[in-house]
Amino acid sequence: MRVIARDGVHEIEIQRSRFLCSAARVADEAEAVAFIAGVRKEHWSANHNCTAFRVDGTQRSNDDGEPSGTAGVPMLEVLIRRELTDTAVVVTRYFGGIKLGAGGLVRAYGRAVSETVDALGVRDRAAFATFTITVDHTDAGRLQNALHSAGHLIADVGYTNQVTLTVHIPEADAPTFHDWLATQSNGTATALQGPPVTLDV
């Protein structure tokens, strides 16, 4: 799956109508709904604020007064085609006086979202396993170098009487991680597996 690289706004003009696409990364449906409400409040005077989002396996769209299926659906189709998740978009239309027709609206709303995604960029997302590693201070530096060399992500380091490393590794590597760790630390490090996370890569 993928997610937009950053939040942002992109504008296009078609037949004197302005289409402003606001896009945001969202963690859950409540965040998507709150983002949409904020854009609608900001652009309360617009003719339409059409919406689409995909998050947590849920996808929704809304035409906000445009003819059925001409706005929210093509917006959502862009998110699906681009394999985007955790993403919400609102296309605000300020009518320019020229009717676009159903086909024109479908193309306009789809284009607004597509160009916005292109402008903001996209990042891949993948599932990672989380391990909390405990190791003696004398072995910590060498182990950190080994983790970096293997491409594993060190999310946090804590220092007490021992060193605690929180590490994210690709899920595919999780079944063999204990063996890898034992080899790299000569059996001096221990690891507990925690809940998986989804990260940008």
Element (H, E) at 102: helix 101-120
In order of their start, the domains of the chain are 2-120 (3.30.230.30), 124-200 (3.30.70.240)
Edge to edge, the sheet with strand 87-94 lists 8-14, 17-25, 87-94, 48-55, 58-62
Q: Look up tokens 């998740």; give the residue.
A: 85
Q: What is the pTM of this model?
A: 0.79
Q: Examine the pLDDT at 177 and tell me if it is beyond 90.
A: yes
Using CA of residue 35, residue 37, residue 41, residue 46, what is the dihedral sign?
Answer: positive
pLDDT range class, residue 102, cuts 50, 70, 90: very high
Q: Examine the pLDDT at 51 and tell me if it is beyond 90.
A: yes
